[in-house]
Copies of this chain bind each other. A is one copy, B any other.
Amino acid sequence: MVRRRGDTRRDILSAAEHLFQVKGFNGFSYQHIAQELGVRNAAVHYHFPSKGDLGLAMISRFREDFGWWRVQQEARSTTGSQRLEAFFGLDRRYSEQRKVCPLGVVGVEFAGMPPEMCREAHALVDDVLSYIEDALALGREDGTLSFDGELPAVALHVLAATQGGLQLGRLQGPRGFDTVLDGLRSVLRMAGPADGARVAG
């Protein structure tokens, strides 16, 4: 595998993100990253002097990527239901790869994590909740969603359930996560992902 100059930093982040979502923050080391990329331990330290730097950069990139993803989705999805289903699709890909949400990793390993990482993760939570809230508000307006409760509370409920679902799915098999998604669709009076083909509940 030939590696172009300037890609190293990006590749390190990609490898780290993968390991992060599969094994947790304390579950991987610089050596794992270096081995996977075919570079030396010290090369990783060059780009990210401390593991805290690496972790912070990771969460920042998650935020950037989510920001871009959001812009695209809000341009292409016209209904609240579609926007929420798009978010479910994000997590569903994680589920297929047997990954968990990065927010879940921070949530569990919170106490031993660099403070800057936690602050950035908090900001990511706000970003995601903002997207979900907007989708819920739109869906309530356009009639594709129907639910009781205040928007921030319902958005938090959705995020909590998907996160927990991803983790339980690892123990129960991928069907576990799909079941949680169906439960959420039922609560939000939402058609299935195949555009009305399925009625949950």
Query: Which residues of A are interface residues toward B (Cβ below 8 A)?
Result: 22-24, 26-27, 98, 100, 103-112, 118, 121-122, 125, 148-149, 152-154, 156-157, 159-168, 170-172, 176, 179-180, 182-184, 186-187, 200-201
Contacts and interface: CB of A to CB of B under 8 A. Distances in A.
A102 to B, nearest CB: 10
Contact of A163 (B111, B121, B168): B168
A64 B157 CA distance: 30
The binding surface of chain A is classed by DSSP as: helix
Contacts of A153: 179, 182-183
A99 to B, nearest CB: 9
A183 B156 contact: yes
Contacts of A109: 23-24, 26-27, 108
A33 to B, nearest CB: 15
Nearest to A109: B24
A128 to B, nearest CB: 10
A111 B157 contact: no
Contact of A164 (B106, B152, B160): B160
Contacts of A168: 103, 107, 125, 156, 159-160, 163
